[in-house]
């Protein structure tokens, strides 16, 4: 497909008031796009106005509510006249626990937001994306192919998002629309600071992974990667790039790493702590 000029394109992004979402919104505005920011935050409209009073709008929306997303898409198209790209960015991490120790309600919420919320976002925007031969962007994770020990619901959800992105890429090709699936390692956001860094058990777990895989991204760096991916109509992006080798060799390297974690005393010690949490 040809490259995608972002100037005056209309981009909708969920989970857009903080972390990766807000960084992506800023990067898109800098490229000349018009941006609709959707978030649970009741001050979303104020946040969008602070970024650009005429090229950004903010709507308080729960991605788990399909009807609310339908209304939001209608409002975006009424304001800007079209919708070219939908970025399904909203997601939550959940509690760092073993499956045994995870409260069912927490697991269900992670799956609802990270899977149903993404599917709702796609379903609400897909007709506009097709009409404008635009793009869908879904945010997966390296946990789609890395062992999700201590965060199984989150890893499950990101594997599901990967499968959604793959299917949509084939399904939308007939319409001249495209799909970008983004895989990131840990990004320096408030969600990671609260859900990973603030928990000493999780910090130990991260330390047990191979050191080359511990590199983190700044939110702005990840946002720029998304913007470049949209402009090039890439099918996928993986950051940091060192994770690409693990993705490509997951069929044999993944089980090998699983076996290492099973035998590693430090990893198993952390599992015991998370099991008792």
**Is 71 a member of any domain?**
yes
What is the model's pTM?
0.92
Report the chain's terminal Cα–Cα distance, integer Å: 50
CATH for 126: 3.40.50.720
Q: Is 70 exposed, middle or buried, given 0-12, 13-18 or 19+ CB atoms closer than 10 A?
A: middle
**Is 43 a member of any domain?**
yes
**Is 89 a member of any domain?**
yes
129: pLDDT confidence band, cut at 50, 70 and 90? very high
Higher model confidence: residue 231 or residue 215? 231
> Which residue range forms the structural domain that includes residue 235?
10-276
Residue 200 has pLDDT above 80, yes or no: no
Site of tokens 């430090």: 266
Mean pLDDT of 96-109: 94
pLDDT at 242: 85
266: pLDDT confidence band, cut at 50, 70 and 90? confident
**Is 3 a member of any domain?**
no
Distance CA 218, CA 195 (A): 16
Mean pLDDT of 102-118: 97
Count of domains observed in the chain: 1
Residue 13 has pLDDT above 90, yes or no: yes
**Is 97 a member of any domain?**
yes
**Is 270 a member of any domain?**
yes
Residue 88 has pLDDT above 70, yes or no: yes
Mean pLDDT of 197-214: 70
**Is 4 a member of any domain?**
no
Distances 6 to 21, 83, 84, 134, 177 between C-alpha atoms, Å: 17, 12, 9, 11, 15
């Amino acid at each position: 497909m040809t490259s995608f000029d972002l100037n005056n394109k209309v981009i909708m992004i969920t989970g857009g008031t903080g972390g990766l979402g807000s960084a992506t919104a800023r990067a898109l505005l800098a490229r000349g796009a018009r941006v609709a920011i959707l978030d649970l935050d009741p001050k979303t409209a104020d946040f969008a106005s602070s970024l650009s009073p005429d090229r950004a709008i903010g709507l308080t929306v729960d991605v788990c509510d399909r009807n609310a997303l339908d209304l939001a898409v209608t409002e975006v198209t009424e304001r800007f006249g079209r919708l070219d790209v939908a970025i399904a960015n909203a997601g939550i991490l959940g509690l760092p626990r073993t499956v045994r120790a995870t409260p069912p309600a927490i697991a269900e919420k992670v799956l609802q937001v990270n899977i149903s919320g993404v599917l709702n976002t796609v379903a609400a925007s897909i007709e506009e994306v097709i009409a404008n031969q635009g793009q869908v962007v879904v945010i997966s994770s390296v946990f789609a192919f890395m062992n999700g020990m201590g965060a199984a619901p989150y890893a499950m959800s990101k594997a599901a998002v990967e499968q959604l992105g793959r299917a949509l890429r084939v399904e939308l090709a007939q319409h001249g629309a495209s799909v970008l699936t983004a895989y990131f390692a840990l990004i320096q956001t408030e969600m990671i600071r609260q859900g990973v860094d603030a928990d000493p058990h999780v910090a130990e777990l991260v330390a047990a992974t191979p050191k080359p895989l511990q590199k983190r991204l700044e939110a702005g760096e990840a946002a720029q990667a998304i913007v470049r991916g949209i402009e090039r109509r890439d099918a996928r992006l993986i950051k940091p790039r060192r994770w690409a080798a693990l993705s490509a060799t997951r069929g044999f390297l993944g089980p090998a790493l699983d076996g290492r974690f099973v035998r590693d005393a430090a990893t198993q010690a952390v599992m015991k702590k998370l099991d008792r949490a």
